[in-house]
Structure 1
Amino acid sequence: MRFEQLEQFVALGNLRHFRQAAEQTKISTSALTRSIQTLEDEIGCQLVKRSTRSVRLTEQGEMFLSYCKTTLSELELTKKTIKQSLFGRDQQKLVIGYTSEASSIVPMSCGQFLADYPNIKIEMQLQDEHELTRKLQLGEIDISVYLQSASNVVSNIYLPDQLILFVAKHHPLASKDSLRKEELYDFPMYGCFSQSKQVQSMLNEAVEGLNKSSSMKIGNIDQVIEGLKQSSHFAIASIEHANTIAQDPNLVILRTNKDINHEQLVVQTNHHVSRDSHITHLLGLIETSAKSKACTSNM
């Protein structure tokens, strides 16, 4: 069992998608499949339940995922401890990852920080959000900084522009300014057929993302509308049905992330990074810089 296999399993456990996990760990999908099978053979049990449309971990797989994350985190902590023992505190180094959207915040903040702490080295890495999450979990970076829709931070729903969610006017969700996924869990769901194969594929992926694939009822737009008016269901449909829905006074289109432009700064630290005074100082500089950027943007 190799450390890279643990990294590959963590990627699959986080993304629940073989192709995406393979891309993240920079191997082919077939190589990832063989790696997972090898792990299952070594451990002696099934870790992953595979189907044509989803990837789920078994109970043993969830336990092994926790083990992988802990092991990789401990590995990085040990490597850092060894480096500190070799080079001393004066050579302490902080690795900060950030997205392009935060490029007007992080470099400036780091420059101000280095003026106050010249003995601490800083390495800045420009990455996408998924890579930041992976590296932070593995301990490869100390701090990650990115901007995202404020709704994403509280598990709100994102749908492609081609899709919409809607309910009857009397539905409890009809008056919501924005939605969290958790608010949909207690309500059954209707799905409306699309004439476009591409959009239908998006619909299928969205339904699976909402964890409704096993319980959803499907019909044409008229059947779905009639069902909504007589139940507590919510429904998903393609944008081709938007006019029909909007013209019905008894229906309401729900607001999702694609309707919200407000962005929020997200700063995360590796859980092994102690909040020493210099770390707190750097995080304060980042926050101040973000607030200054927001004020400038709103003028």
Structure 2
Amino acid sequence: MRFEQLEQFVALGNLRHFRQAAEQTNISTSALTRSIQTLEDEIGCELVKRSTRSVKLTEQGELFLNYCKSTLSELDITRNTIKQSLFGRDQQRVVVGYTAQASSIVPTSCGQFLADFPNVKVEMQLLSEHDLLRKLQLGEIDISVYLESATSLVSDIHLPDQLILFVAKQHPLATQDSIRRSELAQYPMYGCFSQSKQVQNMLNEAVEGLNKSTNVKIGNISQVIDGLKNSQSFAIASIEHSKVIAQDPDLILLKTNKDASHEQIVVQTSHQLGSGSHVSNLLSLIEQTAQKNAVATAVNS
């Protein structure tokens, strides 16, 4: 059993689609199929149930998926620890990760910082919130910046701006002013492929957040639209498909609380901050910029 096999199984477990998982792990679909079959032979049980429409994990497959994620996470942490112990941390470099919703704050703050500290290299990484927190935990970024609702509830739907929900016009939810998570639970779901790997990852995370990852149907935009018009399903897609959806008279976008007005910037760092440190100075600039943008800021060290 090799680490790359674990990575391939995690990709399949997250995407529930052989072709997509193969593309994500840079192998052919047939190679991925052989890899999964080898894992099943080595473990001695069926991990994946395959059908023409979907890929589902068996109970043993779900357990093995959790094991793979845990093992790969521990591997990343160990690699990073070894790297830092061998080479030390570059004190003249600061890596800032941020979500698209924080894009009005981070680049501005980093520009001001570089004007004051031209010899310090600043690297900015645009990430999903999931990758942002993972990289902060692993020490791959020094600062993370993201937006969250100050009044978020478990039942609320908070989608990135890159994602949309839509239904057929005859759907029971089509006329509601705002949709809650609990109202979607009773309806089947379609997911639409995105050309952007980053947006596709956001879409996969949103599907998981809506507790639909085990029964979502995946297809291209035409397949998804056809499926909606013949069922009471709802669908999630990226904004790259919004024009097609808007031009179809039989479809309507669902309104969620993704544009909630009560939001705050959350800034996190894994560093022990000392006065005068580069990270501390940049954090201060990010706070100032956030305040100028009239949003509340919380700093967790």
Q: TM-score range by the shorter chain?
A: 0.5 to 0.7
Counterpart contact for 2:167–2:235, Cα < 8 Å? no
Query: Are residues 1:200 and 2:212 paired?
Result: no
Equivalent residue number for residue 246 of structure 1 = none
1:150-229 matches, within 5 Å, as 154-155=156-157, 163-164=168-169, 166-167=171-172, 177-185=177-185, 187=186, 199-202=225-228, 207=233
Counterpart contact for 1:147–1:265, Cα < 8 Å? yes
Distance across 1 between alignment mates of 2:19 and 2:283: 35
Letter in 2 for 1:256: K
Distance across 2 between alignment mates of 1:47 and 1:261: 40
Q: What SS does the aligned partner of 1:277 have?
A: coil
TM-score by length of 2: 0.55
Percent identity for Structure 1 against Structure 2: 56
Deviation, 1:65, is 1.6
Distance 1:7-1:67 versus aligned 2 partners, 3 A rule: same
Equivalent residue number for residue 124 of structure 2 = 124
Distance 1:174-1:123 versus aligned 2 partners, 3 A rule: closer
Higher mean displacement: 67-76 or 149-158: 149-158
Distance across 2 between alignment mates of 1:204 and 1:119: 60
TM-score by length of 1: 0.56
| Residues paired across the two proteins, number | 241
Distance 1:43-1:15 versus aligned 2 partners, 3 A rule: same
Equivalent residue number for residue 34 of structure 1 = 34
Distance across 1 between alignment mates of 2:8 and 2:265: 25
1:227-238 matches, within 5 Å, as none
Counterpart contact for 1:98–1:126, Cα < 8 Å? yes
Counterpart contact for 2:47–2:57, Cα < 8 Å? yes
Distance across 2 between alignment mates of 1:74 and 1:54: 30
Letter in 1 for 2:17: H
**Structure 1, unaligned stretches of length 5 or more?**
168-172, 190-195, 211-237, 243-252
Distance across 1 between alignment mates of 2:180 and 2:68: 29
Counterpart contact for 2:94–2:122, Cα < 8 Å? yes
After superposition, the C-alpha distances for 1:98-138 in whole angstroms (9 at most, x for unaligned) are 466654433333455678999986533346x4994797499
Distance across 2 between alignment mates of 1:162 and 1:261: 19
After superposition, the C-alpha distances for 1:211-266 in whole angstroms (9 at most, x for unaligned) are xxxxxxxxxxxxxxxxxxxxxxxxxxx96457xxxxxxxxxx99434x96569678
Letter in 2 for 1:29: T
**Structure 2, unaligned stretches of length 5 or more?**
189-221, 237-246, 296-301
Equivalent residue number for residue 71 of structure 1 = 71
1:274 aligned to which of 267, 270, 274: 270
Distance across 2 between alignment mates of 1:130 and 1:19: 25
Larger radius of gyration, structure 1 or 2? 1
Distance across 2 between alignment mates of 1:137 and 1:51: 38
